[in-house]
């Protein structure tokens, strides 16, 4: 059975969130949706809870596909598996610890069909423990403008507030980077927007992006994840070079490099500041242009660039003292 839209959702260690997510997907206001869930072997109750929610919507049962990974493979491989089994003309993605408003699929589908677009994107809600704020994703009229905005973090690199013509993946052989599960969405979106012939923005918000799941990849930054970010950054740059497009995005690529290593400036170790200085050093002079980074971190970056280690050490000492008092 073919569907108009496939929604792909990897499931990994989300037993505290999956029921709300699944209910929100099952309550979409239109039919013709294929729901593709991928069990990424979190060894918790996520899949059992998911199946229980699905059983409450018997009219959806025939449209639900639950795939199993042989072991934990990560979000990239899970999404690739979902794409291989998706039969919708259009495809979108959901993270299993988030949820969506009931009209999301209907409005996004209506717009991508009406506008005959390859990609449509929307605003979204950013949800913390005590507040929810709308994140405006203002209109960029061309694919090239969107690529620039993605590289500069002016357009969010996530998949879940966007809907794609599935042929955009298939005809350009676009897949997620195997084994690299941080910034894999940006890696993929740069390619998708680059090849898109027509894109469109819808000034509505439907997606609720949860930022308080401590098990989410988005909330963790370890050496492996930093390595994934750097590898995906290098792959994005390599892709633009292969397309003979690097010159067109030269300024934006410098911001991308700075964004890829920004977490090192939050550190309380001098070695992290040294690593910041040595990683993509050609971008260091552009740090004042990275407006999304707080000014004190831009100052620290400048100091590291000039090897002003005594000032860096003093900052680290102050931060460590503050952390001790914060824990009391």
DSSP secondary structure of 174-242: ----TT--SSHHHHHHHHHHHH-S-EEEEEEEEEEEE---TTSGGG---HHHHHHHHHHHHHHHHHHHH
Per the structure block, which two tokens stand in for 185?
Answer: 């969405």
> For residue 284, which of 308, 316, 320, 313 has the smallest C-alpha distance?
308
pLDDT tens digits, residue range 209-218? Answer: 998 644 443 4
Read off the pLDDT of residues 244-299 as tens digits, 9 standing for 90 and up. Answer: 999 999 999 999 999 999 999 999 999 999 999 999 999 999 999 999 899 999 99
Give whole-number Cα distances, 165 to 30, 176, 177, 227, 280, in Å. 18, 16, 20, 31, 35
* pLDDT, position 231: 97
Residues sharing a CB contact under 8 Å with residue 192, sequence separation 6 or more, in sequence order: 118, 119, 164, 168, 169, 172, 174
Residue 116: pLDDT band with limits 50, 70, 90: very high
Q: What percent of the chain has pLDDT over 70?
A: 97
Both structure tokens of 264: 């090192």
How much is the average pLDDT of 168-187?
97
pLDDT at 142: 95
For 6, the enclosing helix (H) or strand (E) is strand 3-11
Round the average pLDDT of the chain to a whole number and report it: 94
- Among 136-140, 174-178, 192-196, 270-274, the range scoring the smallest mean pLDDT is 136-140
pLDDT-based confidence at 323, cuts 50/70/90? confident
- Encode pLDDT of 69-78 as tens digits: 999 999 999 9
* 63-to-28, 32, 79, 121, 227 alpha-carbon distances in Å: 13, 8, 18, 24, 37
Helices (H), the chain: 18-26, 46-55, 75-85, 104-114, 143-151, 166-171, 184-195, 223-242, 250-260, 270-278, 295-305, 309-326
* Euclidean distance between CA atoms 297 and 275, whole angstroms: 15
Distance, CA of 112 to CA of 297 (rounded, Å): 40
pLDDT, average across residues 55-70: 97
In the prediction, which pLDDT does 178 show? 94
Cα–Cα dist 326/303, whole Å? 26
- Which pLDDT value is given to residue 220? 41
Under DSSP, the state recorded for 11 is: E
């Amino acid at each position: 059975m073919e569907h108009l839209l496939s929604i792909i959702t990897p499931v990994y260690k989300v037993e505290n969130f999956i029921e709300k997510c699944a209910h929100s997907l099952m309550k979409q206001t239109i039919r013709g949706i294929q729901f593709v869930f991928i069990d990424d072997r979190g060894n918790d109750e996520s899949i059992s809870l998911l199946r229980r929610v699905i059983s409450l919507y018997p009219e959806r049962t025939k449209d639900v596909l639950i795939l199993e990974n042989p072991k934990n493979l990560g979000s990239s491989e899970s999404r690739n598996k979902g794409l291989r089994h998706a039969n919708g003309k259009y495809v979108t993605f959901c993270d299993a610890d988030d949820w969506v408003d009931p009209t999301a699929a209907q409005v996004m589908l209506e717009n991508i069909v009406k506008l005959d677009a390859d990609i449509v994107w929307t605003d979204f809600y950013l949800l913390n423990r005590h507040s929810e704020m709308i994140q405006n994703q203002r209109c960029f009229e061309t694919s090239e403008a969107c690529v620039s905005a993605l590289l500069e973090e002016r357009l969010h690199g996530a998949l879940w507030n966007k809907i794609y013509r599935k042929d955009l993946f298939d005809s350009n052989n676009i897949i997620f980077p195997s084994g690299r599960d941080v910034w894999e969405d940006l890696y993929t979106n740069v390619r998708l927007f680059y090849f898109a012939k027509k894109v469109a923005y819808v000034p509505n918000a439907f997606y609720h992006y949860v930022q308080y799941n401590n098990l989410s990849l988005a909330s963790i930054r370890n050496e492996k994840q930093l390595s994934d970010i750097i590898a995906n950054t290098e792959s994005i740059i390599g892709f633009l070079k292969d397309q003979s497009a690097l010159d067109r995005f030269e300024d934006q690529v410098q911001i991308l490099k700075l964004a890829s290593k920004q977490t090192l400036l939050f550190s309380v170790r001098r070695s992290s500041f040294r690593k910041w200085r040595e990683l993509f050093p050609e971008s260091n002079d552009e740090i004042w242009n990275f407006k999304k980074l707080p000014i004190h971190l831009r100052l620290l970056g400048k100091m590291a660039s000039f090897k002003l280690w005594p000032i860096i050490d003093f900052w680290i000492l102050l931060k460590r003292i503050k952390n001790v008092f914060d824990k009391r």
